[in-house]
């Protein structure tokens, strides 16, 4: 049977998913709140709609006779789009609303880890009362991370001793208007991501990736959705051992065992600390940018994973090209504090050289493609080493120029990788 796949979402991550499906013999349709020219160019049809409206997505899926759906972002998962598609008889690769709480409710996530004895859970307390949370900040012996329990686009966490003082943390708790707060032990170390494809009780893991959340070079400035990321030609990253990677895999496997019939991507954000691997958070989807590192080196046909998941079969073993990748986002100048939109992009797929170009949030006008106030596009270099991959990404950014755009040139550079290695060596 030939497959008709509906891809939900219109960012860089979804452009990477579209590319992974474009080579298979599926018909591909996509829907998103914004028209992504990269996805639209690969798909047989593209509909602009509110992807957090389950009825709108299901109705489009019916219209195109979708046999499968892949949900990219967390918003539709949190809105129950996966449940609605499943109810309509269209298998959605993405968890249902209640299982997506592993991402969408950080209080649930920590309690779930604790009650199921999942390794790597930091000390934490959950609060529904602002003043009780502030008292805990005063009494706690050590630094805390303040986390609103709900979704914040990666921008809600404040870490005492890193971004804020205890007084500023209390002010944030009082003024940010979040009604449920998690306070947890500050984890110190190096962060990395491992994403797993999950269905039918099986967990197929992908190579580790390191994202860079801070807006400015040298890991300065506010948190963003992610400014860029790299992976190595091996499963682990240069600052980690294979054992560290396997510790993270054990956490993902224990989590899937404890969940009831989870399907989709389980994304683990880990901190490699002096005490081993700890969980910063889980996401219920591919990372953005991490999907742009992972999917281009996946040799296994992604469609085969999706159909096996739907049909209750064993998921295929994943095979990856032994290549390093470096992904760098270009964002509108001033992002994320005061981004200015409206810059016409000079880069396009034909002049990006050896790099892959993934569009994120752009305005596709008749006379060209323009920036909005969110991350605009990413370039990905793929090569034998991180250093070579970084150079390929930089060559593409040089084509894009820096008129109206910001980017972190330091991501993937040898000096930054060495800093990470030194940091972990100091911890151990
Ligand atoms: P999250 O929204 O949970 O992804 O958190 C955003 C970022 O905040 C993470 O990528 C970490 O850099 C930081 N963070 C979250 N929790 C902690 C923690 N317990 N200790 C230190 N940093 C944290
Ligand atoms: N790169 C972080 C995220 O996708 O949440």
Tokens of 57: 């997505």
Q: Specify the residue with its C-alpha closest to ligand 2, atom 4.
A: 287
Write out the H or E segment, with its range, that includes residue 215.
Answer: strand 214-216
Q: Which atom of ligand 1 is nearest to the CA of 211?
A: 10
- Can you give the residue ranges of every domain in the chain? 3-96, 123-185, 190-427
Tokens of 104: 């969408």
Pairing mode, strands 228-231 and 210-211: antiparallel
Q: Which ligand is nearest to the CA of 11?
A: 2
CATH number assigned to the domain covering 190-427: 3.30.470.20
Query: Has residue 153 got a pLDDT over 80?
Result: no
Note the pLDDT tens digit of each residue in 97-140.
999 999 999 999 999 999 999 999 999 999 999 999 999 999 99
DSSP 26: -
Confidence of residue 178 (pLDDT cuts 50, 70, 90): confident
For the chain, the average pLDDT equals 96
Note the pLDDT tens digit of each residue in 339-394.
999 999 999 999 999 999 999 999 999 999 999 999 999 999 999 999 999 999 99
- What pLDDT was estimated at residue 92? 98
Phi, psi of 296 (to 5 degrees): -65, -20
122, 164, 224, 281, best to mutate for ligand 1 pocket (most atoms within 8 Å of CB): 281
- What pLDDT was estimated at residue 155? 78
**Helices of type H across 281-385:** 290-294, 302-310
Q: What angle do CA 12, 191, 210 make, to 5 degrees?
A: 35
Note the pLDDT tens digit of each residue in 265-317.
999 999 999 999 999 999 999 999 999 999 999 999 999 999 999 999 999 99
Share of the chain above pLDDT 70, in %: 100
Å from CA of 86 to ligand 1 middle: 32
Query: Has residue 152 got a pLDDT over 90?
Result: no
CATH number assigned to the domain covering 123-185: 3.30.1490.20
Query: Has residue 146 got a pLDDT over 90?
Result: yes
CATH number assigned to the domain covering 3-96: 3.40.50.20
The model scores a pTM over 0.75:
yes
């Amino acid at each position: 049977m030939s497959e008709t796949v509906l891809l939900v979402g219109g960012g860089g991550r979804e452009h990477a998913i579209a590319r992974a499906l474009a080579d298979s013999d599926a018909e591909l349709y996509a829907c998103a709140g914004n028209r992504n020219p990269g996805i639209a160019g690969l798909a047989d049809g593209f509909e602009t709609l509110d992807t957090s409206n389950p009825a709108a997505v299901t109705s489009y899926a019916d219209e195109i006779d979708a046999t499968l759906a892949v949900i990219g972002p967390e918003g539709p998962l949190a809105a129950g789009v996966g449940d609605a598609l499943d109810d309509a008889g269209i298998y959605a690769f993405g968890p249902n609303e209640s299982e997506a709480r592993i991402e969408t409710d950080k209080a649930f996530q920590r309690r779930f880890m604790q009650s199921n004895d999942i390794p790597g859970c930091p000390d934490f307390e959950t609060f529904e009362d602002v003043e009780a949370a502030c008292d805990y900040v005063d009494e706690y012996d050590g630094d805390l991370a303040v986390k609103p329990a709900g979704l914040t686009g990666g921008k809600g966490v404040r870490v005492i001793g890193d971004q804020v003082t205890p007084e500023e943390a209390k002010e944030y708790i009082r003024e940010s208007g979040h009604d449920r707060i998690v306070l947890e032990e500050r984890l110190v170390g190096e962060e990395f991501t491992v994403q797993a494809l999950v269905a039918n009780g099986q967990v197929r893991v992908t190579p580790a990736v390191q994202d860079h959340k801070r807006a400015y070079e040298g890991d300065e400035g506010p948190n963003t959705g992610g400014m860029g990321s790299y992976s190595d030609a091996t499963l682990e990253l240069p600052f980690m051992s294979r054992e560290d990677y396997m510790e993270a895999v054990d956490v993902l496997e224990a989590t899937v065992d404890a969940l009831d019939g989870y399907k989709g991507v389980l994304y683990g954000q880990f901190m490699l600390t002096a005490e081993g691997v700890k969980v910063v958070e889980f996401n219920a989807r591919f990372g953005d940018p991490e999907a742009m590192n992972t999917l281009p080196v996946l040799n296994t046909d992604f469609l085969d994973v999706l159909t096996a998941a739907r049909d209750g079969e064993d998921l295929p073993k994943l095979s990856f090209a032994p290549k390093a990748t470096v992904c760098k986002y270009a964002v509108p100048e001033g992002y994320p504090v005061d981004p200015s939109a409206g810059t016409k992009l000079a880069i396009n797929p034909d002049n990006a050289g050896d790099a892959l170009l993934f569009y994120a949030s752009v305005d596709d006008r008749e006379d060209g493609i323009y920036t909005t106030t969110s991350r605009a596009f990413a370039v990905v270099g793929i090569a034998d080493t991180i250093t070579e991959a970084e150079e390929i990404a930089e060559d593409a950014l040089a084509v894009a120029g820096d008129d109206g755009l910001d980017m972190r040139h330091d991501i993937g550079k040898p000096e930054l990788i060495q800093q990470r290695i030194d940091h972990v060596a100091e911890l151990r």
